[in-house]
């Protein structure tokens, strides 16, 4: 196949593209044979197939797209949308964590602090940034930069693409739980706007550590969840093979998150995912970023802090129904009737 990174649900598209390539190659080798109409028909068919496949993606399909190895990462977006970027390093306590990138940036003349998780493209770069899973010092670095932004009255933009914080013994020794908890607590205190954008994976507390924001935007094929589908499957069904089922149950897609009120908007991706047209994906992200940033910048510091607090206090809210004693008695009686009917219908009483 031409693309070594195609996903299982993309197989029909890849097979048609391979046939189209063969047809074009045959046409070049035999110019006397006119196959232009056949090529046009094949191209239309591929377009229809792409629309059909990418228009009916399951939650698990979108998780796979969010993890695509060619998907743009934080540094790719920084290079595409900012005029300059002055990277800052270290947490001033232990070391510099390459899994979190941060620094001053300018976007369309707007000065801001830009922070994001970073994955690698190959073994060497993945080892350098720990496969996008930050250590405690990464979260402490992010908090240091947020405090710096608050001091200079600069809005904060965070980009999230991580399967979660690193769960190894080194993280525990350096207190990863405390680092994330402090980030959650202090993020509510900043007087500047905070805008979080989930660009790929948004897994567990590793994502939440830099996403306590006034607004959370999610790319169309990204996901944001309390746990990865594999982790959920391992806990609930004792088998990671149930990851697809877990992905559907977690309601982790951009559409699910918008409906539940967790996210505040969906950023449209090019057909087939951001990796198919990184420039178009970056342009769409930039437009959404500027729009939301301008709206948030119109608020006062007091309004900004209150709005951020209210947003998270509203998550998971539910309503209770008061059942009177009479109504409760009727419910019990109705349940007893249904139970008696079920016994009558059972094979033992046939």
Give yes or no: residues 101 and 231 share one domain.
yes
- Residue 305: CATH number of its domain: 3.90.226.10
- Closest by Cα among 146, 139, 155, 129 to 91: 139
The band of 202, judged by pLDDT with boundaries at 50, 70 and 90, is very high
Q: Does residue 108 form part of some domain? A: yes
Q: What's the average model confidence in pLDDT over 204-217?
A: 94
**Alpha-carbon distance 324 to 295, whole Å?**
46
Over residues 329-347, mean pLDDT: 68
Other Cβ atoms less than 10 A from the Cβ of 64: the count is 18
The torsion angle over the Cα atoms of residues 124, 125, 131 and 136, rounded to 10 degrees, is 110
Instruction: Give 139 or 335, the one with higher predicted confidence.
Output: 139
The helix (H) or strand (E) run that includes residue 279 is: helix 278-297
- The alpha carbon of 109 is separated from its chain's Cα centroid by a whole number of angstroms, namely 27
Task: Read off the pTM.
Answer: 0.85
98 and 185 both lie in a single domain:
yes
Same domain, 256 and 289: yes
Q: Tell me: pLDDT of 151 over 80.
A: yes
Residue 219: pLDDT over 70: yes
pLDDT at 36 over 90: no
In a shared domain, residues 24 and 79: no
Residue-wise pLDDT for 281-319, tens only, equals 999 999 999 999 999 999 999 999 999 999 999 887 666
Tell me whether residue 326 is in a domain: no
Q: 100 and 48 in one domain?
A: no
Q: What share of the chain is helix, strand, coil (3-state, %, to 5)?
A: 55, 15, 30
Do residues 138 and 48 share a domain? Answer: no
Flag whether pLDDT at 342 surpasses 80.
no
Asked if residue 132 is part of any domain, the answer here is: yes
Domain containing residue 123: 64-313
Q: Is residue 153 within 8 Å of 110, Cβ to Cβ?
A: no
325 occurs within a structural domain: no
Structure confidence by residue, pLDDT tens digits, 223-248: 999 999 999 999 999 998 999 999 99
Would the pLDDT of 343 be above 90?
no
Same domain membership, residue 161 and residue 126? yes
Is residue 133 located within the same domain as residue 183? yes
Task: Answer whether residue 1 shows pLDDT above 60.
Answer: no
Q: What is the model's pLDDT at position 2? A: 46
Query: Under a CB-based contact definition with an 8 Å cutoff, are residues 308 and 296 in contact?
Result: no
* Residue 27 shares a structural domain with residue 122: no
Give me the pLDDT at residue 24, please. Answer: 81
Residue 276 has pLDDT above 50, yes or no: yes
Cα separation, 178 vs 159, in Å, equals 21
HSE of 254 in the Cβ direction (CA atoms, 13 Å)?
23
Assigned domain for 348 exists: no
- 222/259 same-domain check: yes
Q: Is 337 part of any domain?
A: no
Q: Do 147 and 210 belong together in one domain?
A: yes
pLDDT tens for each residue of 92-149: 999 999 999 999 999 999 999 999 999 999 999 999 999 999 999 999 999 999 999 9
3-state secondary structure of 119: coil
pLDDT tens readout for residues 152-192: 999 999 999 999 999 999 999 999 999 999 999 999 999 99
Structurally, the chain folds into a number of domains equal to 2
d(CA 164, CA 327): 46
Structure tokens at 159: 């980009």
Instruction: Compute the mean pLDDT over every residue in the chain, rounded to the nearest whole number.
Output: 90
**Are residues 228 and 163 in contact, defined by beta-carbon separation less than 8 angstroms?**
yes
């Amino acid at each position: 196949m031409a693309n070594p990174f195609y996903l299982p649900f993309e197989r029909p598209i890849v097979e048609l593209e391979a046939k189209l390539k063969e047809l074009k190659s045959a046409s070049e080798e035999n110019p006397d044979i006119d196959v232009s109409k056949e090529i046009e028909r094949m191209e239309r068919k591929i377009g229809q197939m792409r629309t059909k496949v990418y228009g009916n993606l399951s939650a698990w399909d979108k998780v796979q797209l969010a993890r695509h190895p060619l998907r743009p990462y934080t540094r790719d977006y920084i290079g595409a949308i900012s005029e300059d970027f002055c990277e800052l390093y270290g947490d001033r306590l232990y070391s510099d964590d390459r899994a979190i990138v941060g620094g001053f940036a300018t976007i369309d003349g707007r000065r801001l602090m830009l922070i994001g998780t970073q994955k690698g493209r190959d073994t060497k770069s993945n080892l350098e940034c720990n496969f996008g899973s930050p250590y405690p010092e990464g979260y402490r670095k992010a908090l240091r930069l947020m405090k710096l932004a608050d001091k200079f009255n600069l809005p904060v933009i965070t980009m999230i693409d991580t399967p979660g914080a690193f769960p190894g013994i080194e993280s525990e020794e350096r207190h990863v739980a405390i680092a994330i908890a402090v980030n959650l607590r202090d993020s509510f205190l900043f007087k500047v706007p905070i805008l979080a954008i989930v660009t790929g994976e948004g897994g567990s507390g590793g994502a939440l550590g830099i996403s306590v924001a006034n607004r959370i935007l999610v790319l169309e094929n990204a996901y944001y969840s309390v746990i990865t589908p594999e982790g959920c499957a391992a806990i609930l069904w004792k088998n990671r093979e149930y990851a697809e089922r877990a992905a559907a149950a977690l309601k982790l897609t951009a559409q699910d998150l918008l409906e539940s009120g967790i996210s505040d908007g969906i950023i449209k991706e090019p057909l087939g995912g951001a990796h198919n047209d990184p420039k178009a994906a970056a342009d769409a992200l930039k437009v959404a970023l500027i729009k939301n940033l301008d709206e948030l910048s119109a608020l006062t510091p007091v309004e900004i802090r209150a709005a951020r607090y209210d947003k998270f206090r509203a998550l998971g809210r539910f309503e209770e129904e008061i059942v009177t004693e009479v109504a409760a008695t009727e419910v019990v009686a109705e349940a007893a009737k249904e139970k008696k009917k079920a016994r009558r219908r059972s094979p033992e009483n046939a």
